[in-house]
Amino acid sequence: MKRTLTINLGGQVFHIDEDAYEELKAYLTRIEVHFSDPGERKEVMDDIERRMAELLQEKDGDKNRVVTLNEVREMKEILGDPDEIGESGEETSSRKETRHYRTPGYKRIYRNPDDRILGGVCGGLGAYFHINPLLFRILFIIFTFAGGTGLLVYIILWIVVPEARTRAQKMEMRGEPVTIENLGKTVREEFNEVRNSFRKT
Amino acid sequence: MNVENAKAQMKKGVLEYCILSILSRNSGYASDIIRELKEARMIVVEGTLYPLLTRQKNAGLLSYRWEESTQGPPRKYYELTDKGREFLNELDTAWNELVEAVQFIRKK
């Protein structure tokens, strides 16, 4: 017995096994990180997704069947290695920067949208310094009641510090190097988080 | 320096020329182009084509239109622009010169 998911691939709906989904998602992400220009990335990814949808439909017209891990692997064979796809899209000179588009371990303060009570300032500080955000929250509350500077500083930080929106920014917030392998890792982690939250409900 | 790598590098340069050449005959959608390139054994995997098409389109050499398909999603039909045609003419000349040059050297 296997759990299945429903996905939208190139505008078509498919049922897919959980392990096949994980493999497909990791593959697409590995292609995606090669394209630095957002417009180009979107277009190429759309084209590739549409082609995948077409390949799946060519194989079997039945709408209610489930896409298996083997089929995803076959598609990967047909479409090829993500590094090769990325290389044909990039000028050779910029190839290096796309692999490590930030220096490893580059660290920045962001507001953390995944761990927040108001604006995510304390959550972000906690992630940056690798300490429990609760400590910052208590400090801000103490300084708010002792003269009100805490609230002022908090609001200024809320305005000045950007929110970590993308996966790469969240990794920078924690000081993790932004590499393809690590991006793949966070994708898998996110997937597991979602899966676990489903299981709980 | 291994042989496979050298062969891949050689093909890569010619691939863009081949795409333009295929589209100069008829407009086509990605899978048509892939089929021709595979028949000619120019490519083995399909994925490499998509970034090239997007880049050529962004460079103004190609344009595309959407066309409904009887089975599946609408398809993107690519065709050469005027600029693309000029570009192809230049490449045609360059290719002939290149082939002559290589033949000249090999015969010596």
pLDDT tens-digit map of A147-186:
888 888 899 999 999 888 887 788 888 877 766 667 777 7
Q: Per the structure block, which two tokens stand in for B64?
A: 């595309």
Backbone angles phi, psi at A116, to 5 degrees: -145, 155
Q: What residue segments make up the domains of chain B, in order of their start? A: 3-107
Q: Per the structure block, which two tokens stand in for B108?
A: 């010596």
Q: Does domain B3-107 have CATH number 1.10.10.10?
A: yes
A138 & A194 share domain: no
User: What is the ipTM score, two decimals?
Assistant: 0.82
pLDDT single digits (tens) B55-93: 999 999 999 999 887 776 788 899 999 999 999 999 999
Residues of B in contact with A36 (CB under 8 A): none
Q: Which pLDDT does position B26 carry in this prediction? A: 87
A136 & A186 share domain: no
A83 & A16 share domain: yes
B1: part of which helix (H) or strand (E)? none
A80 & A169 share domain: no
Please give the residue range of the domain that contains residue A120.
Answer: 101-178
A96 & A21 share domain: yes
Instruction: Please state whether the predicted TM-score (pTM) of the whole model is above 0.80.
Output: no
* Coil, helix or strand at residue B29: strand
Residue A148 DSSP code: S
Confirm or reject contact between A78 and chain B (CB < 8 A). yes
Range with the lowest mean pLDDT among A174-183, B18-27, B34-43, B57-66? A174-183
Distance from CA of A87 to the nearest CA of B (A): 8
A169 & A185 share domain: no
Confirm or reject contact between A35 and chain B (CB < 8 A). yes
A138 & A161 share domain: yes
Contact B50 A48 (CB under 8 A): yes
Distances (CA, A) of A198 to A5, A68, A189, A193, A201: 12, 21, 14, 9, 5
A20 & A112 share domain: no
C-alpha–C-alpha distance, residues A88 and B18, integer Å: 14
Confirm or reject contact between B27 and chain A (CB < 8 A). no
C-alpha–C-alpha distance, residues A43 and B78, integer Å: 14
Total number of domains in chain A = 2
